[in-house]
């Protein structure tokens, strides 16, 4: 069986669309300009650009999901740290870790807090 090109596939579907329309303005327009529509679609379709756009969309979705997951992990770790410090009566450390990321990292290690 011969493999069809994207142009042939697009032409097939445009022809099916033209045939499937019954009455009305769209059917008339598609029927009258069928060849022009087919040629325009073929000339303007860029498969590489289409695939690149799909890749970019997927990358963006993955990046956003990763960002949300990282934010959630950070919030969970900070919550554990605050609870541990509060339980130990170390209120001054809670205040300091809120403004000093290096100190906060030191406390994570000291109190063995990780995800």
B/e letters for 89-100, b = 16+ CB within 10 Å, e = fewer, are: ebeebeeebeee
CB-based contact 58:87 (threshold 8 Å): no
Task: Print pLDDT tens along the chain (115 aa).
Answer: 566 676 677 777 777 766 666 556 677 777 777 777 777 666 666 677 767 777 777 788 888 889 999 999 999 999 999 999 999 999 999 999 889 999 999 999 999 998 7
- Separation between Cα atoms, residue 18 and residue 68, nearest integer Å: 45
What pLDDT shows up at residue 76?
93
Residues contacting 30, CB < 8 A, separation 6+: 17, 18, 21, 37
CB-based contact 53:21 (threshold 8 Å): no
Report if pTM > 0.75. no
Domain boundaries, the chain: 67-115
């Amino acid at each position: 069986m011969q493999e069809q090109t994207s142009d042939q596939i697009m032409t097939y579907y445009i022809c099916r669309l033209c045939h499937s329309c019954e009455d009305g303005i769209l059917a008339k327009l598609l029927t009258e300009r069928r060849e022009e529509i087919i040629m325009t679609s073929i000339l303007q379709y860029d498969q590489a650009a289409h695939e690149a756009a799909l890749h970019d969309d997927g990358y963006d979705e993955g990046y956003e999901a990763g960002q949300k997951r990282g934010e959630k992990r950070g919030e969970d770790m900070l919550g554990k740290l605050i609870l541990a410090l509060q339980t130990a009566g170390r209120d001054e450390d809670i205040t300091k870790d809120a403004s000093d990321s290096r100190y906060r990292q030191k406390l994570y290690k000291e109190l063995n807090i990780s995800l």
